[in-house]
Structure 1
Amino acid sequence: MATAFEKFDSTRTAFINPWDSVKPIHDFPKICISTFSNEMIEKFASVNGAEMIAQLYAATGPTPVYKICYGGENIAFYLSKVGGPACVAGFEEIVAMGAQKFVLFGCCGILDDRAVGSNLIVPTSAVRDEGTSYHYAPPSPELAADPISTTILTSCLDKLDCPYVKGKIWTTDAIYRETPDRIAERKKDGCIGVEMEYASMLAAAQFRNIPFIQFLYGADNLDCTSWDPRDLELYGMSNAEKYMALALECAIAL
C-alpha cells in the first residue's frame, strides 16, 4: 500500500475542506502574520488599535485572531500552534476566512553556529523530514523557497539593517529524535537550522497559491558536544519588536 510519502494525491477538493467549517469573514485582512510565541502575540494584541476579529477553534481551546493597522493596511495576526500539522491547519482556516498573503516567523535550532551566529535566517529550501508536506506536494527530498518571496524578505532585512544568512532548513516532526548521526547528516546536506513547520507551511502555501514568507531566528544550539538551550525559553521576547517590525514590513511588501 503506497503511503503519502510515495504517492501524492493532487485532488484539489478533499472529503473535509477548511471552507466546510470556516466561512469567509467580511473585510477580513488580505494579509496575515503569525508566530509561535504566545507572549509575543499578547504583547502586540495589547497595543492601541489592535482588536480581536475572529477565533480559531480546537479541542485545546479557541485561538484569537487580531487585526492591526500598519502602513495604511489592515493586517491580521494570531498564534500558530507548534508542529507542521497544527500550524498548517490554522493557516488553512485563516485562508478560508479571507487571508491572501502570509508571513510566518519563529525560532529554530542552530546546526551551524559559525554560519548563523546572531544573524536572522532566510530559508532557501526545506529538507522534508515530516509528514504534512507530502499531502500538499509530490515526494521529494527538499522543497525550494519561492524566489520572489525570498527577494522581498531580503529587501526588507536590508531596509531595516538586519544582518542575515541564507541556508537550508531541516523540518522534522520529532524534536526528541534529532540524533547525533541525523544532525551530522543534515549538516552535511547543508542545513543550518532545524525546526518543525517550514516544509509543511511551504508546501501548503504553494498548494493554495498563497504568497508566503518565513524567516527564522536562532534559539538553542545543536552545533556542540551537548545541547545548549541558550535563550530558547525566552520565546523571542528579547527581540520581539525587531521581529514584528520585520514581519510587518514583509507583509506590506508582499
Structure 2
Amino acid sequence: MKTVFYRNSAQPDGLGDSRAMIHPSDLIKPVPGFPETCVSTFSRTIIQRYAAMEQTEAIAVLYTANGANPVYRITYGGREFGLYLSLVGAPACVCGLEEVIAMGARKFVFFGSCGILNEEKVGKSLIVPTGAVRDEGTSYHYLPPSAEIEADEGMTALLKDCLMRCGCPVVSGKMWTNDAVYRETQDLVRERREAGCIGTDMEYSALLAAARFRGVRFAQFFYGADCLDSDVWQPRDLTDYGLGSADKYMALALEIALRL
C-alpha cells in the first residue's frame, strides 16, 4: 500500500529521515463529511454526558488494545464539531490526534486538568499556556530537540480573548509536561516553578509539537486540580476529573471552536 503523507513538505532540521514506517493513513481512512474542528478532553464521564444527548451521533471509532473509543458529531452555534475522548499520557493522546487528523479534522480544542505549581499566580483562574517544558518523550519525534516549546502567539491571544469574553478569570504561563506523575519530586517541582512554569500536565507539549508537525491548528486551556505548590501534595478535586464544572468547560471549548 502506498503511503500518502499529509504533513507539511518542509522537514524539520534534526529529525533525519522523517518517512515513518507506519503512517496514520495506512490504518485510518478519511470519513466523508467529518467535522473540520474537534473538541477533546480526558474525562470519559464528560464525554459520555454529551454523547448521550439526543442530537449527538457516533461517526467514527478509534481502536486500541484498551477498547473502542467513539468519535461523535455534535452541533453547537449552528455548526458541527467532532468530539472524542483523549487517552491520558502523551504517546496515547498523540496517537488519537494523529488518527483523527487522518479522518479529516484540521482544527482542535483540548481542555483538561493540571497540577498547580504557582498557587499565588493561578488561584481560581483558567490557564492559557504560553508554552511548555518538554519533559516527555513524544514531542522529540515531531520537532527537533529543545528544552521548551512555545505556543503560537495568535492562538494564545485568541484563547485569552474568548475566555475573558465569557467572563472567566485567566492567567497565562508555561506548563511542565512530564511523563511520570509519581516522580514529580520536590526538587523538580521547585526547579520548574523557578523556570516560570505555573502548571504541570502529561500531554500538552507533545500535542503542540504533533499539531505543528502536521500543520493543524491547536488550542488548549487548563483548569487547576491538585496543587504541588507546598511541601505536601494537596489532591483537592483531582479525582473529580472536572465533572463538577463539565458544562462550563465544554461550553468554553465550543466557544473557542467557533472562533478557530
Q: Which TM-score tier does this pair reach, normalised by the shorter chain?
A: over 0.9
Cα pair distance change 1:10/1:216, threshold 3 Å: farther
Report the residue type matching 2:81 in the other structure: I
Deviation at 1:11, TM superposition (A): 4.2
Deviation at 1:10, TM superposition (A): 5.2
Tell me the equivalent position of 2:135: 129
Tell me the equivalent position of 1:166: 172
Percent identical pairs in the alignment equals: 56
Cα pair distance change 1:160/1:132, threshold 3 Å: same
Name the CA distance, whole Å, in 1 between partners of 2:199 and 2:142. Answer: 23
Match of 2:67, SS state, is: coil
Tell me the equivalent position of 2:211: 205
Supply the RMSD in Å over aligned alpha carbons: 1.0
Tell me the equivalent position of 1:245: 251
Deviation at 1:85, TM superposition (A): 0.3
- Any gaps of 5 or more consecutive residues in structure 1? 1-6
Report the residue type matching 1:135 in the other structure: H
Cα pair distance change 1:62/1:180, threshold 3 Å: same
Q: 1:65-144 to 2 correspondence within 5 Å?
A: 65-144=71-150
- Any gaps of 5 or more consecutive residues in structure 2? 1-12
Equivalent residue for 1:223, pick from 229, 251, 255: 229
Equivalent residue for 1:56, pick from 55, 59, 62: 62
Tell me the equivalent position of 1:4: none
Deviations 1:181-240 (A, max 9, x none): 000000000000001000000000000011100000000010112111000011101111
Name the CA distance, whole Å, in 1 between partners of 2:164 and 2:237. Answer: 25
Cα pair distance change 1:147/1:11, threshold 3 Å: farther
Tell me the equivalent position of 2:3: none
Report the residue type matching 1:94 in the other structure: V
Tell me the equivalent position of 1:32: 38
TM-score, normalising length: structure 1: 0.96
TM-score, normalising length: structure 2: 0.93
Report the residue type matching 1:126 in the other structure: A
Name the CA distance, whole Å, in 1 between partners of 2:87 and 2:152. Answer: 23
Name the CA distance, whole Å, in 2 between partners of 1:208 and 1:98. Answer: 12
Deviations 1:55-94 (A, max 9, x none): 0001111001111011121100110000000000000000
Deviations 1:78-132 (A, max 9, x none): 1000000000000000000000100111000000011111100000011000000
| Higher mean C-alpha displacement, 10-19 vs 166-175 | 10-19
Deviation at 1:30, TM superposition (A): 0.4
Name the CA distance, whole Å, in 2 between partners of 1:114 and 1:33. Answer: 30
Moved over 6 A (4+): none
**CA contact under 8 A between 1:10 and 1:136: conserved in structure 2?**
no
Name the CA distance, whole Å, in 2 between partners of 1:170 and 1:43. Answer: 30
Deviation at 1:13, TM superposition (A): 3.2
Match of 2:140, SS state, is: helix
Match of 1:238, SS state, is: helix
Report the residue type matching 2:245 in the other structure: N
Tell me the equivalent position of 2:184: 178
